[in-house]
Amino acid sequence: MEDITLKTIATKLGISISTVSRALKNHPDIRESTRQAVYELAEQLDYEPNQLAFQLLNRRSNTIGVVVPKISYALYLQALPGMAEVAEKHGYQLLICQTDDSYEKEVRQIHSLLSSRTSGVVLSMSANTTNYDHLLKIQRKNVPLVLFNRDCEEITCSKVLIDNHRAAYEATSVLIAQDRRKIAFFRGPEHLQISQKRFEGYSQALADHQISLNPDIIKIAADQEKDSTIAAITELFDSGAQHDAILAYSDQIAQWALVLAKQRGIRIPHDLAIIGFYNEPTNELLDPPLSSVSQPAYEMGIKAMELVFKELNSTRFAFERVVLESSLVLRGSSEVNSLPSQ
């Protein structure tokens, strides 16, 4: 079946393309009778204006690219609806890309977005991203870029973040208040700012309570790999190093720690308290349920998208840095009063 274009209508009506275009846009220059005729035929033929042609003319596709490590991570799952809402309000659509925490995929996705002349980009960096040329490229093309959740200092742009330092500090403090002083820590991906900040918050809390950092109970877990996560946890357990609590960069790690600890007969939270990050829904399914730092993902999505449009609609624009509050959700895995499971 042929595509219906302005030309189709113009030819059938014996008028010019520009007249058809103007008629459909209710341009005052067009006589009522011809406008009617055009409208009727357009309706009858199911004419749909070709956005592609319009976008080419406009040099922009009214679309915002959203690049995240994994859609299925709780944080992004919750942030997406917020973004969609704001975009919808502006008449824009969302192009959602997944990087699977791979730098190469991220670069490919960014190029793809740039190539389709996206009006803006909202991005949460892949864990493996250490080179930022592709992000600089976005800015060089004058496409608004907003970073959210995962920051990096090398890029200057608007950002929507959580105070990860403070969140980790609080979580650590709660554990210390429960008289736990040998708090193990699982660090996340090395070059992720949020990972670094969480570690610093943890360190600071210890320092403020005159507890010295014990490198033996600080491990690194590149959390997207199940095997390495298990390995890191096992390493801690096998090391013999004393620990009465675990603060983990992510719930994925914390969940495994909880499961593996139980397998070893470690009582939670009696012998070992555990707190993770992100407040994944599955935390509820565990026994005991896992405590976690919850982040206002929905609001992050809204804020991030709003910043894109703010930048899009102003010629001279000052980057904004929005820091939202996280909250600590305490559950059975860290409540000193709860009975040991089993």
- Residues of span 47-66 touching a second copy by CB under 8 A: 48-53, 55-56, 59, 61, 63
Burial (0-12, 13-18, 19+ Cβ within 10 Å), 79: buried
Nearer to DNA, 4 or 266 (CB): 4
Nearer to a second copy, 84 or 127 (CB): 84
CA-angle at 297, arms to 310 and 183, nearest 5°: 130
Neighbour tally for 124: CB within 10 Å: 25
The nearest distance, CB 20 to DNA, in angstroms, is 7
Segment near DNA (CB under 7 A); pick from 9-17, 198-206, 216-224, 305-313: 9-17
The nearest distance, CB 127 to a second copy, in angstroms, is 18
18 contacts DNA (rule: CB under 7 A): yes
- Residues of span 254-313 touching a second copy by CB under 8 A: 281-282, 284-285
Segment near a second copy (CB under 8 A); pick from 35-43, 76-84, 242-250, 315-323: 76-84
Compose the 26-65 pattern: x for residues touching DNA by CB under 7 A, - for all others.
Answer: --xxxxxxx------------x-xx-xxx-xx-x------
How far apart CA 119 and CA 92 sit, in angstroms, is 9
The nearest distance, CB 97 to a second copy, in angstroms, is 7
3-state secondary structure string, the chain? Answer: CCCCCHHHHHHHHCCCHHHHHHHHCCCCCCCHHHHHHHHHHHHHCCCCCCHHHHHHHHCCEEEEEEEECCCCCHHHHHHHHHHHHHHHHCCCEEEEEECCCCHHHHHHHHHHHHHCCEEEEEECCCCCCCCCHHHHHHHHCCCCEEEECCCCCCCCCEEEEECHHHHHHHHHHHHHHCCCCCEEEEECCCCCHHHHHHHHHHHHHHHHCCCCCCHHHEEECCCCCHHHHHHHHHHHHHHCCCCCEEEECCHHHHHHHHHHHHHCCCCCCCCCEEEEECCCHHHHHCCCCCEEEECCHHHHHHHHHHHHHHHHCCCCCCCCEEEECCEEECCCCCCCCCCCCC
Nearer to a second copy, 80 or 205 (CB): 80
141 contacts DNA (rule: CB under 7 A): no
Q: Residue 88's binding partner, choosing from DNA, a second copy, none, with beta-carbon cut-off 5 to 8 A by kind?
A: a second copy
- Residues of span 100-139 touching a second copy by CB under 8 A: 111-112, 114-117, 137
Which of 7, 36, 81, 207 is the binder for a second copy (CB under 8 A)?
81
Closest CA to 63 of 111, 115, 121, 108: 121
15 contacts DNA (rule: CB under 7 A): yes
Nearer to a second copy, 111 or 264 (CB): 111
Q: Residue 282's binding partner, choosing from DNA, a second copy, none, with beta-carbon cut-off 5 to 8 A by kind?
A: a second copy
How far apart CA 125 and CA 141 sit, in angstroms, is 19
Which of 3, 43, 227, 238 is the binder for DNA (CB under 7 A)?
3
Q: Residue 112's binding partner, choosing from DNA, a second copy, none, with beta-carbon cut-off 5 to 8 A by kind?
A: a second copy
22 contacts DNA (rule: CB under 7 A): yes
Closest CA to 155 of 178, 130, 188: 130
Segment near a second copy (CB under 8 A); pick from 95-103, 237-245, 264-272, 305-313: 95-103
Applying CB under 7 A, which residues contact DNA? 3, 5-7, 14-19, 21-22, 24-25, 28-34, 47, 49-50, 52-54, 56-57, 59
Applying CB under 8 A, which residues contact a second copy? 1, 3, 46, 48-53, 55-56, 59, 61, 63, 70-72, 77-78, 80-81, 84-85, 88, 93-98, 111-112, 114-117, 137, 140-142, 281-282, 284-285
